[in-house]
Amino acid sequence: MRGRHRLRTAVASVAAAVLCVGAPAGCAAPAPDAVAPTVRATPRPAPLWDRSPASVAAVGDSITRAFDACEVLADCPEVSWATGTDATVNSLALRLLGPERVTRQSWNLARTGARMADLPGQMERAAAVKPELVTVMMGANDACRSSAALMTPVEEFRAAFASAMARLRAKAPKAQVYVSSVPDLQRLWSQGRVSPMGLEVWKLGICPSMLADAQDLSVTAERRRTLVRDRVVAYNAALKEVCAKDPRCRYDGGAVFGFRFDGGQLSPWDWFHPSRDGQARLAEIAHRQVTAPEPPA
């Protein structure tokens, strides 16, 4: 019996040796439990939009120059919604930079009477100061012409805005851009037409395409005003479209167009441009949009 046991043991040992020799990796001892490789989380890229930019350049027209906000027929940039220093308005730049830096790190490059065709040149001047944020409010003068027939065509408006963005990017590729929608000019007409002073001032030629014959409620007059409003809506669509192609551009989602200015927020001298209070409302809208975690829809 012992002999048979020794024989079986020997045969088993030889068989095991033969199998191990034939195996591709031999018969190494079992490895201990494998340790899972360390998985390192990929760091999230820094967001393209900085909600607290350190410098602001403003481009645009008379609204950004705060025309007729302090005195008749005069710019008053100290109360501008974009870069003003007046504490009662509390401009976008004042909110972002504080009173110590606002005069050194903000620039108002807007011009009263400017149209979208003027924006590329303004953008070049803005790019030269290397701002972290550029504010754009332009388009009211493209709709406010001596007649509705002379309003800037939408394609020209869109092309000029795209050109302005391209000029900015050529010299300031990382500058952020906040784009305000064009105000609802028909809303301004509906507010000012109840003011005897507003009616008299408008006769001097303020935005004739919308405000001429302000008390005329005929079908022809209403059709003209609707045509102007529709053009403003189309301008805002063009602003949104061009801005959407640039990852560092934010359109306000129609916030300014939708804002319901009342009599107290319009200049007492022309019942058209924003008053100090109107400028403050524009500053609130801009600050809300610029500091939002996500861009407006």
Q: What is the pLDDT of residue 37?
A: 56
Residue 273 near residue 69, CB atoms below 8 Å: yes
- CA nearest neighbour of 105 among 123, 120, 122, 91: 91
CA dist 246 and 284 (Å) reads 24
Is the alpha carbon torsion for 203, 222, 158, 136 positive or negative? positive
Residue 82 near residue 56, CB atoms below 8 Å: yes
User: What is the DSSP-derived secondary structure letter of residue 146?
Assistant: S
The alpha carbon of residue 69 and the mean position of all alpha carbons in its chain are separated, in whole angstroms, by 24
CA dist 83 and 126 (Å) reads 13
- CA nearest neighbour of 160 among 118, 215, 130: 118
Q: What is the pLDDT of residue 51?
A: 95
pLDDT in tens, the chain (297 residues): 444 444 344 434 433 443 344 444 444 444 445 455 555 655 555 568 999 999 999 999 999 999 999 999 999 999 999 999 999 999 999 999 999 999 999 999 999 999 999 999 999 999 999 999 999 999 999 999 999 999 999 999 999 999 999 999 999 999 999 999 999 999 999 988 988 888 999 999 999 999 999 999 999 999 999 999 999 999 999 999 999 999 999 999 999 999 999 889 999 999 999 999 999 999 999 999 999 998 776
**SS3 letters across 102-125:** CCCCEEECCCCCCCHHHHHHHHHH
Query: Where are any strands of DSSP class E within the chain?
Result: 56-60, 106-108, 133-137, 176-179, 249-251
The total number of residues written for the chain in this structure: 297
